[in-house]
Chains A and B, each alone.
Chain A
Amino acid sequence: MMPDLGKYADAVLSSYAVSILLLVVLVALSIRRSRKMKAYLADIEERVKNG
């Protein structure tokens, strides 16, 4: 199944590894910060509502 990348295998595979890693980290950090901020704002709004 794996294509024969010949002498350039390292270059091709490392390009894919670096890019996919960076994209996954970007998506994961964006989702994590979004969840944290939602919870943080909900806490503050609750506190403000209850005086």
Chain B
Amino acid sequence: MSIWEYANPVKFIKTTDRMMPYLAVGAVVCLVSGLVWGFFFTPDDYRQGSTVKIIYLHVPAALMAINAWMMMLVASLVWIVRRHHVSALAARAAAPIGAVMTLIALATGAIWGQPMWGTWWVWDPRLTSFLILFLFYLGYMALWEAIENDDTAADLTSILCLVGSVFAVLSRYAVLFWNQGLHQGASLSLDKEEHVADVFSSPLYVCIAGFVLLFIALVFLRTQTEIRARRARALIARERLA
């Protein structure tokens, strides 16, 4: 059995249909338990007070914002190299999810930044690269909508995705590249000095698992929708020709 079997739209829909209920239940369980644990049962931070509770939304959303683009990059490369439609449609399906994750990261970051830094926004390397990543998401979705031919749209959006990957990587490592700005380093790190205390990181891991499962479930659902939309367009075109 090969992974390329799932490039068959029928096989993809059948397989993901079976997996989606488990992913959805897992996502809800992890998100509810992680957020309840983090919100109700963790102490305030000695420096940041109760605003530390924002970490349970901000960090998983930021993580998914970057990783959604990376997933789109892999799917786009598969499209460029192997011309599997399902992979191009999966990249298209992931874009709105990634955009919402980026928006959550930006919004919660601004709300968190106001009491901690005294400002909603600053042109800090990480914040700026995240804003650019959000604009790339919008541009990517707009490009898909603007081009009528599916294959041409997939080609051009794949190129845009390759270019945007620079900013996805940059938004992850901006803090390390430029040792300036207000944003702190990674919250979850192998470096014990940087890593948040266990009392905060345990519920954070559960929330991250919830965001990951939600992302996968939504990508499957939206890819199925894109596959059906593509088939509908093909049938209508065939009808017009007949």
Q: Residues of A with Cβ closer than 8 Å to B?
A: 1, 3-9, 11-12, 14-16, 18-19, 22-23, 26-27, 30-31, 33-34, 37-38, 40-41, 44-45, 47-48
Instruction: With A12-B51, A12-B53 as known contacts, state yes or no: A23 contacts B235, CB within 8 Å.
Output: no
* Chain B 189-232: CB-based contact to A (< 8 A → 1; otherwise 0): 00000000000000000000000001000100110110011011
B148 within 8 A of partner (CB): no
B111 partner, pick from A7, A15, A22, A44, beta carbons under 8 A: A15
B232 partner, pick from A12, A23, A44, beta carbons under 8 A: A44
Instruction: With A6-B50, A12-B51, A26-B97 as known contacts, state yes or no: A48 contacts B228, CB within 8 Å.
Output: no
A23 partner, pick from B100, B228, B238, beta carbons under 8 A: B100
Rank and list the top 3 A-B pairs by shortest CB-CB distance, nearest first: A5-B50, A19-B57, A15-B108
Report the Cα distance A7→B114, complex, angstroms: 13
| B221-A30 in contact (CB<8A) | yes
For residue B58, which residues in chain A have a CB less than 8 angstroms away from its CB? 15
B61 within 8 A of partner (CB): yes
B214 partner, pick from A4, A23, A33, A45, beta carbons under 8 A: A23
Report the Cα distance A19→B60, complex, angstroms: 11
Report the Cα distance A37→B226, complex, angstroms: 9
Report the Cα distance A40→B51, complex, angstroms: 46
Report the Cα distance A45→B238, complex, angstroms: 12
B129 to chain A, nearest CB (A): 21
Report the Cα distance A15→B58, complex, angstroms: 9
| B221-A11 in contact (CB<8A) | no
| B231-A41 in contact (CB<8A) | yes
